[in-house]
Structure 1
């Protein structure tokens, strides 16, 4: 609202004395004026338009500024008739002013001291016109930063967290503290905030400082604190946020914990046990007492204690505590073990037919799985030897494992050797076309016997000796022969235990004979057959039989006188059953089936 004196000065016609009227107008107080405001940024150029329409009879225009309770100060003058510009000698505006033809005033390098009410005056011969403008200057403060930050905070203690400072702003801004994005409100004894504002006398800029005292809890671990500066801007309020800060919160240990550090879930004999004791305080405790089974006194150590190459007697309860023994914890440790005993073990040599008791026993910390392998093949059951055979020989492994303990297994080995003297069976077979015969010598024994073939008589060996695979102490050796006359073949089998010999008569290929296998069992005596001696023996036997028959016939005839006709007839039949002469049998029927069987029967006779 304008004052009456100001209104009268503005509206009455300009008449002499003009200078007196101008002086009175300049000195008139102007409360309530200056509603138009120009907002500018600190350091920029202030543009003040003269918001009065320039009259046609304008004589000159002037700018002044007004400060409460002080006389106005003229700073610029421009003549409308002479087209000249004059700047008053005002030190703070020296070389900073510029007045355009439309009476717009420019002030470079805006300062805080430029916050005034500036008035544009246009003067005609009859009147004086003026319009005030308020200048507001704004300066963005520096981003808020933490200073005097605490290295750590302790629970149950009110301590200076730090200070937040923002410099060189205008107008004065407000600092606000945040915890995890929530505003911190003052709480007596827990949250204490103190604010301080400093003004630079030369520039008029504000520095704002806010300190925060804070009593933390364990929940403040990893909480982040920030502060913001809120300040007026040319258009609206602005806010700048500081970087967040996390503070190290110290709190006492409330619980200790003991752990077994291991790559596996279980421990076996020979392993190392690493014990780790920890407390939940911050900073964590650095020393502990460890309680070891079998130790009378606890062992003082850092948070790690190692036991090397543990045995089964290390099984027990382990514990740890703070050095003042106020807080403790314990854990049970089991050291797993596995023992295996095999009887007998190693290399064992037995004779065929003997018995061999075998036992494999396990002692362990848990139920163990036991199984047998023979020559790397898993067996269905444990071996039992009441009557050893060659097939029983081999490499036996008794193995046991603890399934829940990785890497814990044991094995023992039994290498069984079954020895036996050579045993021989011979067989023969004639080919379907009757051109050759296959003679086989079936041999049992260990160590493997060496086989030698010999023959008496003449014959043609159509190929070399062949042997089958040696399996379970058995193999066969065979030859193929085409004899032109009767032949005796001898198979000799020999190993370090004994030498065994068996012979077989083979008739010429033109003499039919049975193809039934002829097997010979040798009772470990050496048999040597001589074909010539055998034939002589047969002839002598036949002669003796004829002699006995003659004597019997003489006795019969002598007694026949005492018998009736039926007795004579019976005596005649006995004479007819007598054998033929030996020479005729040997010379003509040597190769027939009956004689061949007699030769084979004589294979069982031994000869020195």
Structure 2
């Protein structure tokens, strides 16, 4: 029974102890960036608190300072620097607008009931500000090589909060304080607005290779959402060390230097600072320049040796370096014959092209943009005026791109004109309109004249070039011009030339109409007997072409007769045709009704012999005597 009574008392005591521990651990942190809004929670607030409870927000700074009060007596804000920037929302959170560094404090939320019992929760407000970009400054003067740490640079990180951290690097390797003689010291400056500036000073031993080293610093800082970093720009230092030698070299846009190129001589020592330098032509005391470099446009006279002289300022030692400069050149070509060349049609001429150059050359001849000959020799045969014109000898140094020279040779031909006509033969009719052209080329410039039947006519002339003219003639053909020649004559001071256009008459033929009725021929009135064509007397053939047609017809008839004779001779040899009697003889087998006979008409030409059907032969007795029976 006593145990049962003591158990609830123990539970009540344990709960009281637990509540006391919770009150001691209710404080938390809220992080915010300067200028942003902060919401501070009240963890002891409960919706079951009666309207008679009083809520207060306070902050600790040399004691507690009330910011906000809300209770049965009303709501009030105390007169503090935060009064205009704070509010309390429905969840009893303290809202701070436009947070400042001075707002970083411990805030307390307290709730007190009507009996005077109070509950509290605490919130630590942490304020952050990202620093500016870090600025690095390296020693600008030359630094002597040393084994002891010497100050070479500073890095500054400004306007950050809380205090940022600075780390130094050389060629991406971190320089740790106290390692390899590195010494890093820092200065922290807090400004009136609470922002912090950190200045880091780097001191380190200096070696010769540091002339090629790059130094930079890194600032790392915290914000509510994590850690961040910023890097400075990279800088190097000037390291002073003795010069032991000088180097002289040539700078040019082209590997093979030619006349007209810009060349730069550069002389450098292997130490720092650079020695006192002067540039000279070899074997000349007067310097070209007392600077470390010298630029100019070179010519062939600049080929030769050059010397760089250096005087060390630290140990006063004399140093020299030499180099050789070779400048390629190519003179304009020289022709064996002066230009222009004036020659007559039919002449032959050889021209040579010679050059003076610093290396092996390539020579070729060009005309009209095309290469016409390779080598220095050009042979010209002046057969016609197309050989005239401009020839160019082009020379180039094979191993030096862009080194090219050329020389022009003008060839002028003189002689009588050369004439061409178009067309040379043309078939025409009376009354037809005809256009012909005549082109003449010559030097001096030719004049063109047309002649028809010995009469001079005029065409339309147009100049094609300084030596060539074309004349166009348009006229109506008349009957007296048929089968005649039209002459084009071109003339200059030397002589004249002529070409002809043959005007050949064009004929129109009409085939004869024949009506075959059985084996007899029907003749049209006015037509010739036989197979001759009916022709219009107005277009009677008068040309050689018509005579040729007649000759061909005669030859064909003779060939047909020869073939017929060969067939008869063959039959005779085979015994099919007896010889010795005249008349008509049947050469078919006995008893056949259809008979083939050969009609022999002594009074008719041989080409009029024809094969006649024997079955249709119904001649009179007098006529039958003219036939030979071949059956007996």
Q: Which TM-score band (shorter chain)?
A: 0.3 to 0.5
Larger radius of gyration: 1
TM-score, normalised by the number of residues in structure 2: 0.44
TM-score, L = length of structure 1: 0.46
